[in-house]
Amino acid sequence: EFKKILNNIPGDDVICCLSTFNYMKYFKFWLKSAEKIIPNIKKIVIVFALDLKTFEECKKMNVPCYYEKIFGDFSESNAYGDTSFNIIMHMKNVSITSILENSNKNLLFQDVDLIWFKNPFDLCKNQPYDIMYMEDHNDRFSPTYVNSGFMYIKNNKLTKNLYDTCLNDFLF
């Protein structure tokens, strides 16, 4: 089912989000903002649903969505670093690795609580970097200041190996 959804996405890029039902309101805000910039955006988005309600809501909205019962049903995490938070962070790696390994598409991964003001592909696609992250200027992430809430990842051997390592070495 996942490969079928992925193969139906046209072009060289895919946008991936994770969501629980509790965060669907943010996803809907993002979708409205993004549709003003890329009118057919639903054709290049895939949502990894972390609960059945999210999957059902995406289907109602005609947004490509993937859900496996093995993912479980999550509510949002109660605190940074709690068990639910760590599992959701692991699911980021699962979704990214799944897309990189099962397609040749470049990937824009983003949290659902972002709003676009401009088309991010205009900036990201022509850069010489394999991965671009949003900056999180917080001393606990020093010196890299990487925020995984917005990433553009070119699909190549280097990025596949990196995310395969992230997925296989993640401990929670």
- For 91-139, the pLDDT digits (tens) are 888 889 899 999 999 999 999 999 999 999 999 988 999 999 887 766 6
Beta strand 146-153 pairing with 106-110: antiparallel
Q: How far apart are CA 50 and CA 74, in angstroms?
A: 6
Joined tokens for residue 12: 């060289």
Q: pLDDT-based confidence at 75, cuts 50/70/90?
A: low
Residue 30, pLDDT score: 95
Q: pLDDT-based confidence at 20, cuts 50/70/90?
A: confident
Joined tokens for residue 10: 């046209």
Q: How far apart are CA 33 and CA 20, in angstroms?
A: 20
* Global pTM value: 0.87
- Ranking 13-17, 60-64, 92-96 by mean pLDDT, the lowest is 92-96
Higher confidence at residue 164 or residue 75? 164
Helix pair angle (52-60, 24-37), 10° resolution = 30
Contacts of 50 by beta carbon, 8 Å cutoff, 6+ apart: 18, 19, 20, 67, 71, 72, 73, 74, 88, 91
